[in-house]
């Protein structure tokens, strides 16, 4: 992982603030963060999928579309989001996937087989935050199985 400079961190904050006005919302923030932390996948969930509401998910991953809005054709947002092992994290606490479930257990789940493995997601780190209205939004970053796990940095 690259150690970001103050200039890079400032640039990321700018990308985050401007993300809502991009043609592909938050794509600059997600792509630049992926570059800095050597990640192959990044996402921001602004609205969680619930019932008939497919949610609002912005993604940075070469293998997937950039935005999922009420997408019931996507197996993750339609079926597997509720079985995600990293939902409803403690507010403001960065958590890694292996803190939630052992990798051997993960590899036996449908979530892993149908949603993660096909796009080479294995190591994951995330944080859940609250917006100004107190609603949860989530940020996740992932690496492939062949990469190093996220460390304490």
- Expressed as residue numbers, the domain containing 11 is 6-143
Distance CA(61)–CA(74), nearest Å, equals 15
For residue 47, pLDDT beyond 90? no
| Average pLDDT of the segment spanning 133-147 | 92
Q: Name the average pLDDT for the chain.
A: 84
Question: What is residue 86's predicted lDDT score, i.e. its pLDDT?
Answer: 80
Q: Kindly state whether residue 119 falls inside one of the protein's structural domains.
A: yes
Specify if 122 maps to a domain.
yes
pLDDT of residue 135: 84
Tens digits of per-residue pLDDT, 3-45? 888 999 999 999 999 999 998 899 999 999 999 999 999 999 8
Residue 121 inside a domain? The answer is yes
Instruction: Say what the pTM is.
Output: 0.84
CA separation, residue 141 to residues 21, 33, 132 (Å): 22, 9, 23
- 82 within a domain of the structure (yes/no): yes
Gap between the terminal Cα atoms of the chain: 9
Q: What is the pLDDT of residue 134?
A: 87
| 148 found inside a domain | no
| 34 inside domain | yes
CATH of residue 107's domain is 3.30.450.80
- The 3-state DSSP class for residue 37 equals helix
Query: How do residues 54-102 score in pLDDT, each as one tens digit?
Result: 678 888 988 876 655 555 565 555 554 555 678 789 999 999 999 999 9
Report how many domains make up the chain: 1
């Amino acid at each position: 992982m690259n150690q970001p400079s103050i200039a890079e961190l400032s640039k990321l904050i700018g990308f985050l603030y401007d993300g809502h006005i991009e043609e592909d919302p938050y794509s600059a923030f997600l792509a630049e963060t992926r570059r800095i932390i050597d990640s192959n996948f990044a996402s921001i969930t602004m609205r969680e999928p619930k019932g008939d509401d497919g949610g609002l998910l912005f993604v940075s991953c070469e293998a997937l579309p950039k935005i999922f809005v009420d997408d019931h054709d996507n197996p993750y947002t339609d079926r597997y989001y509720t079985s995600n092992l990293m939902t409803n994290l403690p507010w403001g606490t960065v958590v890694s996937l292996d803190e939630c479930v052992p990798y051997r257990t993960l590899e036996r789940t449908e979530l892993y087989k149908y949603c993660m493995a096909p796009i080479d997601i294995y190591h994951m780190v995330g944080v859940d935050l609250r917006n100004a209205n107190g609603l949860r939004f989530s940020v996740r970053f992932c690496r492939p199985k062949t990469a190093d796990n996220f460390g304490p940095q």
